[in-house]
Structure 1
Amino acid sequence: MSTEQLFPLLTEENEAELERFIRVLKKVWPMKARHREHLKYDIRDMSRGLTSERSERKTDYMSEAKFQSPYLHYFLPWNLFRMSRLFSGLELDIPDGGDVVDLGSGPLTAVLALWMSRPHLRERKLNFTCMDRAPKAMQTGLKIFQQIAGKDSPWRIKTVKAAFTDRINRKADLIIVANALNELDWSGRVARPQAEKLTKHLINSAKDTGRVLLIETGVRLTGRVIAEMRSQMMDNGFKPIAPCPHVEECPMPALSQSSPWCHFNFSVKGAPQWLHDLSAESKLDKDNVSMNFLYLSGKGSKAWGGVRVISQPFRLHGGMGQYACSHKGLTLIDYGNKRPLEPGQLFAPEWPAKPKIDLKSKAIILPYKG
Structure 2
Amino acid sequence: MQLYGNLDSILFKIGDNFKEIKDGFKRSIKYLDEKLREIGYKTHEKLRETKNTISEYMPAIIASLPYSAKTPILAGLYIKNSYKGRKGKLLGYTLIGIGAAAFGLFLLSGIHGLLSPNNENIYYAGSHDGYQAFVPHDTINYNGHTDPKGDLILDNGNVIHNAIWDGKYSDTIINNHNQIIKLNNDFVGKINPVNNQRYVPLHDLYVIKGQVPIKQITIDGQTYYLIDANKINPANIAGFYTYKEWINNFVAAINTPGTYAAGLQGNSPVFKWTNTTGTVAYQTMVYGRYGPFDGGVVLVLPNKTIIPYGTTLYPSGPSLNNYIRMQQIYNPSS
Tell whether the structures are fold-level matches, with TM greater than 0.5: no
For this structure pair, what is the TM-score category when the shorter chain's length is used for normalisation?
under 0.3
User: Whose RCO is larger (CA < 8 A, sep 6+)?
Assistant: 1
Question: TM-score normalised to the size of structure 2?
Answer: 0.23
